Structure 1
Amino acid sequence: MNFLRKLFNIDKASSNDKLIKKQPVNLSLDDSFVHYFINKGGKFLYSTKIEEVIHNLKHIIAENRWSEISCNDIDLLKLTTNIPVTTNEKLTNTLPILTSCEHLIANSGEILFSSNQLGSQKLAQLSNDFIVYATTSQLVKNIGEGLTGIKMNFKGNIPTNISSIKNYSITDSKDDILEFNRNSKNLYLLLFEDL
């Protein structure tokens, strides 16, 4: 038996595979975020010009045949001026939502929101369809850095309702206890390079 292993080099191959799997992989913040985000079912569009952001937004809306979206962000509403879509400033559970976010969490692929984007509504009360506009400068390593960033950005007026979307694939299984909080959303991310 040992003779066959030596002949076919079985021991070396399996020990090399084990060694390769044990080596840590160090990804940059953006690569790490994209890796986790896509593995969780998120749809990702990268842009270096604001015209590309508008172009991608237009295609998302056309692809899904959405005639109306909700958006309560004045700056983001400017992106929709040349897109044939009606906008509603009240966030609802029936219309797709165009919004910004607080941070992108690299080590988990989550997107962090606060009352600045959601108001007083919980994620579970909102639409299953989200289009999120974010910039590369919003990338942070982990949730702790995201919370620290919120605290630093809003000194004296820290927003409430801080929550995150953790999964980007909607599951209808009523048996899945882990989906109780319903923070799974069909999500498109428009990531703009600002660094």
Structure 2
Amino acid sequence: MDFLDKIFGKKKKEEILDWNIDNQEEDQSVIFVEKFKSAGGMFFYNDDESEALQTLKNILIVEDISEVLCLNPKLISMLNVLDCNNTPICNGKQDIAFINCEYLVTLDGSVMVSSDQISHLKKSDLPNKIIVWASPDQIISSSSEGLEKIRVSKKQKLPSNITTIHGNQVQGFSGLSTTRKLYLLLVEESYIA
């Protein structure tokens, strides 16, 4: 065994541990994307915000959107760059919602949101088409991990109305699938939280 170590070099435990951690994170990302897509979500990976802006523009064109529900000022500014009609007031006439999220849940491929993203609105109040802006560091293993992270990071002002959103292939308790069309813009270099 020493002979092989001399030829190939002996790996330190730290190197092996780092490799395992990196692989686990990569695996979690891949698993999330697979589950998100199998649940009916449409996934778009973007290297940066300018690429994501182009993807957003294409989605709005393909879906023939006339007005977007958007509550986040940073996301509203992106819609304004695209010269897209938008409003922060939900009146049931919007074709699509453009939101950010708390976390992306690997366990079931869902998107975790709270009152910080959707204000007082219930999931059922949102339009049937939703575009979510997120970054890879928001991918977590389970909803319980997300709830714990929210509790720790926002202990001064805990959000309410915490829920998850799925694509149109997930069946609820009634056995009926939702009719929600869910787009995810995963942006590698994003400064929007």
TM-score by length of 2: 0.78
Is the counterpart of residue 187 in structure 1 residue 186 in structure 2? no
Counterpart in 1 of 2:41? 42
Unpaired runs of 5+ in structure 2?
Answer: 1-23
RMSD: 2.1
Residues 91 and 97 in structure 1, CA contact (< 8 A), matched pair in contact too: no
- How far is 1:66 from its partner? 0.5
Residues 72 and 99 in structure 2, CA contact (< 8 A), matched pair in contact too: yes
Amino acid at match of 1:102: E
Q: 1-side partners of 2:104 and 2:170: how far apart?
A: 20
- How far is 1:145 from its partner? 0.8
Amino acid at match of 1:51: S
Residues 47 and 189 in structure 2, CA contact (< 8 A), matched pair in contact too: yes
Residues 136 and 191 in structure 1, CA contact (< 8 A), matched pair in contact too: yes
Counterpart in 2 of 1:15? none
Q: How does 1:32-181 map to 2 (within 5 A)?
A: 32-95=31-94, 96-169=96-169, 177-179=174-176
Counterpart in 2 of 1:28? 27
Q: 2-side partners of 1:163 and 1:170: how far apart?
A: 15
Amino acid at match of 1:60: I
Residues 136 and 187 in structure 2, CA contact (< 8 A), matched pair in contact too: yes
Amino acid at match of 2:61: A
- How far is 1:169 from its partner? 4.1
Please list every run of at least 4 consecutive aligned residues from structure 1 whose deviation after the TM superposition is greater than 6 angstroms. Answer: none
Residues 39 and 170 in structure 2, CA contact (< 8 A), matched pair in contact too: no
Amino acid at match of 2:146: G
- How far is 1:73 from its partner? 0.2
Deviations 1:60-112 (A, max 9, x none): 00001102111010011121122131011113433110000100001210100
Residues 28 and 106 in structure 2, CA contact (< 8 A), matched pair in contact too: yes
Residues 128 and 186 in structure 1, CA contact (< 8 A), matched pair in contact too: yes
Alpha carbons of structure 1 residues 154 and 68: separation in structure 2 relative to 1, 3 Å: same
SS in 1 for 2:74: helix
Residues 166 and 182 in structure 2, CA contact (< 8 A), matched pair in contact too: no
Q: 2-side partners of 1:105 and 1:184: how far apart?
A: 20
Alpha carbons of structure 1 residues 144 and 170: separation in structure 2 relative to 1, 3 Å: closer
Q: 1-side partners of 2:97 and 2:27: how far apart?
A: 29
Count of matched residue positions in the alignment of Structure 1 and Structure 2? 164
Q: 2-side partners of 1:164 and 1:184: how far apart?
A: 15
